[in-house]
Structures are given as structure tokens and as C-alpha cells.
Amino acid sequence: MKMLFSSTDPTEIKQVRQKLSNAGIRCKLRQNPAARDVFGAPACPELWVGDDEDILKALRLLGRSRLRQMTAVF
């Protein structure tokens, strides 16, 4: 399982989750309690891809414009 991204906008997370689910990619929303208020910033929901082999497909589905706004760590 790999984290795809996190966002302060719950609507964005839900839209991406739906898009991935429609493409047959298992994903899960997580809230990391350890990250709560770290450095004064609230914890954000995280979207995780269930199967490591689907991560590239998920990144392609996000599109270039969204990828430019993200920091991906593998």
C-alpha cells in the first residue's frame, strides 16, 4: 500500500477516490493521528492506493496538471 497524496480539501480527496475506484484501483482514506497538529498544521486526510502495482496507473489518472501540484514520495 502506498500513499498517493493528501489534501486539506475533503471534496478533492473524495473526487480522486471515486475516479480511482471507477478505474478499478483499490484505495483507502486514512487520517494519521500521529500527524495531528505537527508544526502547528492540522492533519489532512490521506489517499492510499491498495496495490503497489496500481500506483503508476493512479498517477496517470490524476493527470499532469495535478501531478505538478503534488510532491510524490516513493
CATH number at residue 9: 3.30.70
Q: pLDDT tens digit string along 19-66?
A: 999 999 999 988 866 555 556 656 788 889 999 999 889 988 887 777
On the CB side of 7, CA atoms within 13 Å amount to: 18
Residue 73 lies in a domain: no
| Percent helix, strand and coil across the chain, each to the nearest 5 | 45, 25, 35
**Predicted model pTM:** 0.73
What total number of domains does the chain contain?
Answer: 1
Using CA atoms, how far residue 45 sits from 1, 7, 16, 20, in Å, is 16, 6, 12, 16
Output the pLDDT for position 26: 96
Domain carrying residue 27:
2-68
Residue 56 lies in a domain: yes
Output the pLDDT for position 70: 64
Average pLDDT for 5-31: 89
